[in-house]
Amino acid sequence: MTSSEIRENFLAFFKGKDHTIVPSAPMVIKDDPTLMFTNAGMNQFKEYFLGNSKSKYPRIADTQKCLRVSGKHNDLEEVGKDTYHHTMFEMLGNWSFGDYFKKEAISWAWELLTEVYKLDKDSLYVSVFEGSEDDELELDKEAYDLWKAIVPEDRIILGSKKDNFWEMGDQGPCGPCSEIHVDLRSAKEKSKIPGASLVNQDHPEVVEIWNLVFIQYNRKADGSLESLPEKHVDTGMGFERLCMALQGVKSNYDTDVFRPILKEVETITGETYGSDPKKDIAMRVVADHIRAVAFSIADGQLPSNGGAGYVIRRILRRAVRYGFTFLGLHEPFLYKLVKVLVTQMGSAFPELKKQTALIENVVREEEHSFLKTLEQGLILLDEVIAQTKDKEVDGQKAFELYDTFGFPIDLTSLILSEKGYTLDEAGFEKAMQEQKSRSRSASEVAKDDWQVVHPNGEQEFLGYDQLKAEVRLLKYRKI
Ligand code: ATP
Ligand code: MG
Ligand code: MG
Ligand code: MG
């Protein structure tokens, strides 16, 4: 099954169960002070769960563009090193707003995985909330009994609050969850160690694919729980992980979601994916990060020096530096991957297709600007390291790299950790604060890094305007 078919089958399945299919919300959030990026399918339905408004439809399903690089969910450090955490990924989801509950959510999830997708039942494990003394909650017996009717009991794993209880925040709607994990190991490996013992243990071939959350409580300000009058279902399944399981491969990067991009990386670099572990990490980082950057720009969020724009710039620079150091790419290259990505995902996400030229231009220009200083900065960092005696690099020096060469601090940390050094973070923060108070008194250039890219007409890219050393603004004119 191709990834497009896998996505379509998910939506068709839930449509057949009376769900309304809605489009993905933007990945970049502009009207919620608590969240910069969508990090789960439920984000766009938050107000329904909070009871502030009511959904027009009692049942909804969709695929949601998510980004997990900041806040509570930050997977950035895993990306590339492992084969199943991405920065940007799609979360397939189905929801019930005060409509069906555990029985349907569980039996439909099982039906879809084993009858429609035909996943081997013997490769699946499920987890159920074991209860928590703090909250005086017992085992989620309802879910346990529903699973017991479907799978042998040795495939049901009891999970703690950490993995099997979902909360929106310190207060508000919450509830137990039940997750589905897939064991992709060979029969021989399976006979050696039982899969049940590897669930939630960060094993690369025993991977969580679907989280079914049962929202049935409200956490009050005093920390106690009360039952909600209306119970809801919120599920999220990692699309790329599902593709991995269905396409019989052991890494998300070996699915048709990533192979075309990796193939293009191979063409550009002349390297073969799979031949050198260090280069493989870099190739995965590049293939992953271009998606986060491209989808963000398609949503109207350009790389910039602050807020969400800076997060995107950091991701882009991280990819450029991996390419530079491990793949010998000293000229802009990321922008060349955009076309492949659009071919791959443009029909499911038309905004990507519509903004192809803009994405390519912005990415190329960003790469160009960063590459100009990257080489010099790396030399300087090496000098700084050479002068460092106690394995901790001076924060003021790291700040100069940031200030002069545009090295995001996490990039400096990453390079240092690769070389066995740490960073004096407090010193960096101090230097940063000092500069901020200096520049507060200087006149600020007003800038808005948020661009409405397709309001009611096309826009033409006019080029860049160099305002000050590091701040580049894009200028647009409506046509
Ligand atoms: P994990 O334990 O693997 O980090 P999670 O428990 O943090 O996953 P959930 O918040 O339950 O993930 O999200 C629902 C589903 O989204 C997961 O079951 C998984 O399939 C997928 N998912 C979560 N994080 C990522 C990621 N960084 N990249 C790709 N898929 C992800
Ligand atoms: Mg996680
Ligand atoms: Mg998990
Ligand atoms: Mg989970």
Q: How far apart are CA 130 and CA 143, in angstroms?
A: 10
Q: How many CA atoms lie within 13 A of 327 on its CB side?
A: 30
> Which sequence spans correspond to the domains of the chain?
3-252, 272-450
Q: How far is the CA of 149 from the centre of ligand 4 (A)?
A: 23
Residue 70 clears pLDDT 90, i.e. is over it = no
Residue 110 clears pLDDT 90, i.e. is over it = yes
- Residue 208 forms beta bridges with which residues? 181
Residue 139 clears pLDDT 60, i.e. is over it = yes
Contact assessment for residue 180 and residue 209, using Cβ atoms and an 8 Å cutoff: yes
Please give the pLDDT value at position 463. Answer: 34
Kindly indicate the confidence band of residue 50, based on its pLDDT and cuts at 50, 70 and 90. confident
Please give the pLDDT value at position 35. Answer: 87
Q: How far apart are CA 327 and CA 265, in angstroms?
A: 10
Please give the pLDDT value at position 436. Answer: 81
Contact assessment for residue 150 and residue 106, using Cβ atoms and an 8 Å cutoff: yes
Q: How far is the CA of 165 from the centre of ligand 2 (A)?
A: 13
Q: How far is the CA of 227 from the centre of ligand 1 (A)?
A: 27
The second-level CATH assignment, the architecture, of 3-252 is 2-Layer Sandwich (3.30)
What's the Cα-to-Cα distance from 142 to each of 102, 146, 149, 337, rounded to whole Å? Answer: 8, 6, 11, 48
Contact assessment for residue 181 and residue 205, using Cβ atoms and an 8 Å cutoff: no
Residue 451 clears pLDDT 80, i.e. is over it = no
Q: What is the mean pLDDT of residues 100-129?
A: 98
Task: State the chain's mean pLDDT as an integer.
Answer: 90
Q: How far is the CA of 284 from the centre of ligand 4 (A)?
A: 23
Q: How far is the CA of 389 from the centre of ligand 1 (A)?
A: 40
Ligand 1 site, residue 19, Cβ cutoff 6 A: no
What's the Cα-to-Cα distance from 235 to each of 63, 156, 183, 433, 451, rounded to whole Å? Answer: 11, 18, 20, 42, 32
- Report the nearest-CA residue for atom 19 of ligand 1: 238
- Of 111-120, 211-220, 438-447, give the lowest mean pLDDT range: 438-447
- CA 18, 147, 211, 54 torsion-angle sign: positive
Residue 459 clears pLDDT 70, i.e. is over it = no
Q: What is the mean pLDDT of residues 223-252?
A: 96
Ligand 1 site, residue 241, Cβ cutoff 6 A: yes
Ligand 1 site, residue 181, Cβ cutoff 6 A: no
DSSP code, position 69: E
Q: What is the mean pLDDT of residues 362-380?
A: 94
Query: In the structure encoding, which two tokens stand for residue 98, read together?
Result: 């005060």
Ligand 1 site, residue 99, Cβ cutoff 6 A: no
Ligand 1 site, residue 86, Cβ cutoff 6 A: yes
Kindly indicate the confidence band of residue 478, based on its pLDDT and cuts at 50, 70 and 90. very low
Give residue 95's region: left, alpha or beta (phi > 0; psi -120 to 50). beta
Using one digit for the tens of pLDDT, what is the confidence trace for 191-224?
Answer: 999 999 999 999 999 999 999 999 999 999 999 9
Please give the pLDDT value at position 71. Answer: 82
Ligand 1 site, residue 85, Cβ cutoff 6 A: yes
Q: What is the mean pLDDT of residues 59-79?
A: 94
Q: How many CA atoms lie within 13 A of 321 on its CB side?
A: 24
Whole-number CA gyration radius for the chain: 24
Please give the pLDDT value at position 34. Answer: 81
Its pTM stands at 0.89
Please give the pLDDT value at position 258. Answer: 98
Q: What is the mean pLDDT of residues 139-143?
A: 98
Q: What is the mean pLDDT of residues 89-97?
A: 98
Q: What is the mean pLDDT of residues 111-119?
A: 98
Kindly indicate the confidence band of residue 449, based on its pLDDT and cuts at 50, 70 and 90. very low
Instruction: Give the Cα-Cα-Cα angle 321, 326, 327 (nearest 5 degrees).
Output: 95
Provide the ipTM.
0.99
> What proportion of the chain, given as a percentage, has pLDDT over 70?
91
Residue 464 clears pLDDT 60, i.e. is over it = no
Kindly indicate the confidence band of residue 438, based on its pLDDT and cuts at 50, 70 and 90. confident
Please give the pLDDT value at position 440. Answer: 66
Which residues make Cβ contacts (< 8 Å) with residue 240, sequence separation at least 6? 84, 86, 89, 90, 252, 255, 257, 258
Which has more pLDDT, 443 or 57? 57
